[in-house]
Amino acid sequence: MQLYWLFFVLGRGRRVGVFVSKGGTGILFQILITASKELPPSEELMLQLHSLLAKVGPKDRKFGVKARLSGALNVTVNLMKQNIQNIKLLLPCLQVLRVYSTNSVNAISLGKNGVVELMFKIVAPYSKKNTSLLKVALDALGALLKSKTNARRAVDGGHVPILLAVYLDWHRNDTRHRHMLIRKGLLVCLRNITNIKLGRKAFVEADGMRVLYNSSTVSESETYTWQIIKALMVTSCVSSLFNHQNDDIETDLNKLHPKKNPGRPFEELRVYERFFLELSEDFQVRGRGVKQEEGSPVNATRHIQSPLLLGGIATRRVGGGGSNWGSDCGSEGTEDEGGEGAVLEVPDTALLLPMHDPDLYVEMVKGTNSVPQYAEVAYPDYFGHVAPTFREPLVERVYGVQRSKIFQDIERLIHPNDILDKVVYDLDIPSCPVIEDSGESLKFNSQFESGNLRKAVQVRKYEYDLVLNSDINSNHYHQWFYFEVSGMRVGSTYRFNIINCEKSNSQFNYGMQVLMYSVQEAISGRPRWVRTGTDICYYKNHFARSSIAAGGQKGKSYYTMTFSTNFSHKDDVCYFAYHYPYTYSTLKMHLSKLEALRTPQIYLRQDVLCETLGGNGCPLLTITAMPESNSNDHICQFRNRPLIFLSARVHPGETNASWVMKGTLEFLMGTSPLAASLREAYIFKIVPMLNPDGVINGNHRCSLSGEDLNRQWQNPNPELHPTIYHTKSLLQYLAHIQRAPLVFCDYHGHSRKKNVFMYGCSVKETVWQSNISATSSDLQEDLGYRALPKILSQIAPAFSMASCSFVVERSKESTARVVVWREIGVQRSYTMESTLCGCDQGKYKGLQIGTRELEEMGAQFCVALLRLKRLTGLRNHQHLLDLESDIIGTQSKVVSPTTYVMEEDEPSFLEAIDYSAESNDEDAEPENEHGIEVHENPEHHDHLSDSETNHRD
């Protein structure tokens, strides 16, 4: 039979497609099977058939299945076994085998049939002969080795050292880099083998680390295979399937329409009346409707030691005398150094920081309940923070930093004798710090409010590995850190590696620095956090995460965030933090100071909404203007002001949200005419810290129940999620009395995007983003939800309209924003996200964000609310909505509301960040990041540590 005609017919790709669609592949396989029964089969025919199949295979998605079902796999394999020296026939067979092997079931079946061994017979040392054959064979072998049983076969067959030797041979001889694909093919085989534990062991035993290290450091220019080598050397090859398709958009129209029924009987909600005294206040009897702060009903009998340590600040000396005043972890020894009157001079920050008072702070700390029962106060929280006046630009990363840092890490394995591996701090050991001060190691401490550092290991003289604590009652969410360092040497560069980070990427790769606070600087009159750190980068490391800690996913590893820094003062005590700390005690101090700003024109009431699991009060503020007089008209105007409901800090690690809230609160309590108008226009209800326990205990995301409180809004449990339960109840109460707020906004921080922006809820924009068919009535939506972000983009320099999104995602159905929108019926229900990093547009373009900018954002939010009101000049709600949408509609021309940004809004960095993208392990789950949520198993999803997508609220 002559099949040559088919070659001509199939010449072009499109014709192959037609051939496949007409069942051509099946026919070819039938011919192959028939032909194979002739003994011996015609070599010529086999050659032609395999050449054709090699052509058709890549175009037929079911090629692998068809081959297996027709029995063609064995025909090809047997043919190869019998013709291993027959290059002419072997090549097309290998080309077909390469396609067969991409099917994982085929790969296993071929492995059983001895094909892995067969491939190793073909893979040969450097030779210029038959390079194309070798390349195809390596491709096929690489595909076969994705199967773990095949990888095991390769290990058992002793092929790991052979592959390494062959690789080295090619590396040495291919000096002109003509055969990169062969070298890459060999590395892919090695990488797939090291996907199994046994493979990693064999790789290390064969000295693979050194072989690859040497081969990749010798010639710096060889970046070609660097990505794979790096992946191999850190022996963590987890697939990261970049899937840009978004299946997270809510497509159930019923879920997109606001619920009409608030769902709870009014009788249950009536108790919340007491938080809305202003709605019934008559001002006739008691004069001011102002109640003193109830004070948090916390355990005040806890044993507190002398002032700041709550033991020690008054006695710790600054510099001189050789006394190292790094804090002791215990709480003893508070008096021993006090003899010489070495009282720490507290910087006088009263002028710089009118809202800060160190003594008041310490008082507040005494009423704060922490799980570890902290007895110390961190100096930065005690002294306060004055935003520096200098600019802090986003840091440009030097090309090659990641590479050099990873090489340093790998050198630990190559030269183990150079490594100290000395544990210098460990919370798991009661007598921490575990070492005596020899002057050779830094001292660490994290035992204070919001502190987070679990362990510090001195790796080299000036290098430390740091391990963060997971959130309490959880085994992940390692992101927030806040710790103290002392015993440093001036002039030496220290490298710090936080080695158990979880997210696949970080703004630390895009210009963000850590924050550092120097006590010496503070005492010299510069109490402030400054952005610091050089050689910062974030990369995957070789520490494997247990599947429990990875939300049930296997084969995940941790990430390292590394930075280097110098210290400028001898005998200093310095602090490092992920972002500007803002503790619960700071909030209480701040709220107390706000009282002092009250004027006769301001109505300010502070209530305790409820108590948290940890026994801390959750403050609730009411701010508005006093009525102009006791006249009925004025009292009526007072009671009928629209409500604005604000909350913040449900996620403890998002401290920026508290700074924005600080800006809002201070603006609202201010004396400016704008502030006065604003108070006259609205009643503000504010829950400034929805998760006090998480904040106090140094959590990143959860409350003490180990849950993300911003995923509990649909069904908050009064015992487990009291702050959410009662905040939602307040809103339900308002809905019942027909006083649902005009605006609801929950302040958050965003760790993966720049600028400040909002998420809102729009049926239309959600429908637009999905493919669901909607009736035109679904698309009749007034555009009022766009007004506030639009105004903000005009007046707040850090705010970016382009980053806003109004799409309702399924994964967000239990967030404050979506629940308040759907259940309470608040059209303007938002999450406001502030970057932890910096801005890439507007006045602050190219700068890292600081507390001044964050506070300004909070103030501008207020101004925007006033403009929202003035935009219409109408008090009538409904009219306001209509008119506003007219204005916004014509201004912004919402033609393509495609502000739903799926991917990280980062340019790809010169040095690729994710080096495991090529790995495609059949057994590994795709990583759940990049905006994709796992829906098949919603329960599972809740536990994913990487569930932070670009939309995290």
Instruction: Report which residue type is found at 158.
Output: G
* Least Å from the CB of residue 423 to Zn ion: 33
Instruction: Confirm or reject binding of residue 454 to Zn ion (CB under 5 A).
Output: no
> What residue type is assigned to position 618 of the chain?
C
Q: How far is the CB of 946 from Zn ion (least distance, A)?
A: 15
Using the rule CB under 5 A, is 728 a contact of Zn ion? no
Q: Which residue type, as a one-letter code, is found at position 707?
A: E
Which regions of 451-504 does DSSP assign to beta strands (E)? Answer: 455-460, 463-467, 482-486, 493-501
Binders of Zn ion: how many residues, by CB under 5 A?
A: 3
Q: Count the neighbouring beta carbons within 10 Å of the beta carbon of residue 926.
A: 16
Structure tokens at 658: 């508290």
What x-and-dash track marks residues 747-786 binding Zn ion by CB under 5 A?
-x--------------------------------------
* 256 membership: H or E segment, kind and range: helix 253-256
Helix (H) or strand (E) holding 30: helix 24-37
* Nearer Cβ to Zn ion (495/748): 748
Taking CB under 5 A as the rule, does residue 542 contact Zn ion?
Answer: no
Q: How far is the CB of 505 from Zn ion (least distance, A)?
A: 17
If the CB atoms of residues 381 and 948 are measured against Zn ion, the closer one turns out to be: 948
817 near Zn ion (CB under 5 A): no
Rounded Cα distance between 210 and 193, Å, is: 17
In the bound state with Zn ion, the residue whose beta carbon lies nearer, of 130 and 814, is: 814
Q: Cβ closer to Zn ion: 654 or 929?
A: 654
User: Both tokens of residue 398?
Assistant: 């030097």
Over the range 199-235, which residues count as b (16 or more CB within 10 Å of their CB) and which as e? bbebbeebebbbbbbebbeeeeebeebbbbbbbbbbb
Comparison of 454 and 817: residue with beta carbon closer to Zn ion: 817
The span from the CA of 628 to the CA of 372, in Å, is 49
Looking at residue 274, what DSSP letter applies? G
Q: Does position 726 bind Zn ion by CB under 5 A? A: no
Q: Which stretch binds Zn ion (CB under 5 A): 76-84, 299-307, 578-586, 645-653?
A: 645-653
In the complex, what is the shortest distance from the CB of residue 951 to Zn ion, in angstroms, rounded to a whole number? Answer: 10
Could you tell me if 769 and 931 are in contact, meaning their C-beta atoms sit under 8 angstroms apart? no
From 68-76, 301-309, 526-534, 648-656, give the range in contact with Zn ion by CB under 5 A. 648-656
Write down the least CB distance from residue 601 to Zn ion, Å.
Answer: 35
| By the rule CB under 5 A, 356 interacts with Zn ion | no
Q: Which stretch binds Zn ion (CB under 5 A): 57-65, 67-75, 336-344, 647-655?
A: 647-655
Are the C-beta atoms of residues 943 and 551 closer than 8 Å to each other? yes
Q: What is the three-class DSSP state of 915?
A: coil
Near Zn ion in 654-673, by CB under 5 A: 654
- Whether the CB-CB separation of 470 and 697 falls below 8 Å is answered with no
Q: Give the single-character DSSP code of 110.
A: H
Select the residue whose beta carbon is closest to Zn ion and give its number: 748
Q: Which is nearer to Zn ion, 66 or 748 (CB)?
A: 748
Nearer to Zn ion, 651 or 790 (CB): 651
Binders in 731-750 for Zn ion, by CB under 5 A: 748
Question: Which of 651, 726, 812, 817 touches Zn ion (CB under 5 A)?
Answer: 651
Distance of closest approach, residue 658 Cβ to Zn ion, in angstroms: 12
Please identify, among the stretches 10-18, 644-652, 718-726, 909-917, the one whose residues bind Zn ion according to the rule CB under 5 A. 644-652
Residue carrying structure tokens 């109408």? 874
Residue 430 CB, shortest distance to Zn ion, in Å, is 34
Q: How far is the CB of 652 from Zn ion (least distance, A)?
A: 10
Q: Which one-letter amino acid corresponds to residue 498?
A: I
Q: Which residues are catalytic?
A: 833
State the minimum distance, in angstroms, from the CB of residue 698 to Zn ion.
16
- What DSSP state is assigned to residue 504? S
Token digits for 330? Answer: 């215990």
List own/partner pairs for 893-900 with CB under 8 A and 24 or more apart. 894/783, 894/786, 897/762, 897/764, 897/765, 897/768, 897/806, 898/768, 898/769, 899/765, 899/801, 899/802, 899/803, 899/804, 899/805, 899/806, 900/246, 900/249, 900/765, 900/769, 900/805, 900/807
Q: Which is nearer to Zn ion, 542 or 651 (CB)?
A: 651
Q: Which is nearer to Zn ion, 66 or 951 (CB)?
A: 951
DSSP of 554-573, one letter per residue?
Answer: SS-EEEEEEEEEE--STT-E
Q: List residues binding Zn ion (CB under 5 A).
A: 651, 654, 748
